[in-house]
Amino acid sequence: MIIAAIACSIFLGIALGLVSGYFGGWLDRILVVIADAIYAFPSLLLAIVMSIVISRGQSTLGGGIMATAIAITVVFVPQYFRVVRSEVVRVRAEPFVDSAKVIGVPTTRILLRHVLRNSTRSLPVIITLNASEALLTLAGLGFLGFGIEATAAAEWGYDLNRAVQDVTSGIWWTSVFPGLAIVLVVLGVTLVGESLNDLSDPRLRQRRRAGSKRRGRTTSAGGES
């Protein structure tokens, strides 16, 4: 479900951001206003509303997966749209884009070959961070009863909801395992995103190398003394 939601968000966000940032005009203004309006809503509340509208209160296995994936997609599309649009606005002013226009390169080729390839460098970091947020949103939907039907598939949010009743009876350990699973997966995905950020940012790599050199010098100085 998270993979489907992230894939749909990337496709829609990149497509809309590419068209909006490159062509501009009234289409750009309309898309920016819509994205800002969606981004202003609380993500969980928007996901709940979209899940209810799409599934119509019937959350089977296939319908629940699609409804929840689309609901999370609507939440994340404005983020990818804003990032890609800002990069496209920067890239379209570069000299190589003007050179491609002068020699008669088709607009589609300019968008896909030149602009798109130089506007998506920061997306891997955003994808990993959004994956952890999508997992929390999914768990929240399941906890509130708007996720997949409990008899159709296992769902950590629903397990936490049932564990609330167990805690009142003194059975506290049933909430440990789904809660621990959510925490570990979110922490792992977040650490992957931070690692990708370190790898994609040359300034962070230089700082890390400088810190390693300083620690090495300190260690060698301490050994000599």
Comparing CA positions, the residue from 45, 121, 40 lying closest to residue 88 is 121
Tokens standing for residue 218? 């300190």
Query: How many domains are contained in the chain?
Result: 1
Task: Measure the CA–CA gap between 213 and 210, rounded to whole angstroms.
Answer: 5
Interacting residues of 154 by C-beta distance below 8 A, sequence separation 6+: none
**Is residue 68 a contact partner of residue 141, using CB atoms and an 8 Å limit?**
yes
Residue range(s) defining the domain that contains residue 184: 2-224
pLDDT of amino acid 121: 74
Residue 23, domain CATH = 1.10.3720.10
Look-up of token digits 């994609």: 200
Q: CA quadruple 61, 64, 67, 72: dihedral positive or negative?
A: negative
Q: Tens digit of pLDDT per residue, the chain (225 long)? A: 778 888 888 888 888 888 888 888 888 899 888 888 888 877 777 777 777 777 665 555 566 677 777 878 888 888 888 888 888 888 888 888 888 888 888 888 888 888 887 777 777 777 877 788 888 888 887 787 776 666 666 778 888 888 887 777 778 888 888 888 888 988 888 888 777 767 766 665 566 666 565 665 655 555 555
Look-up of token digits 């005009």: 25
pLDDT of amino acid 222: 53
pLDDT of amino acid 64: 65
pLDDT of amino acid 25: 83
pLDDT of amino acid 113: 81
**Is residue 178 a contact partner of residue 136, using CB atoms and an 8 Å limit?**
no
Task: Measure the CA–CA gap between 15 and 17, rounded to whole angstroms.
Answer: 6
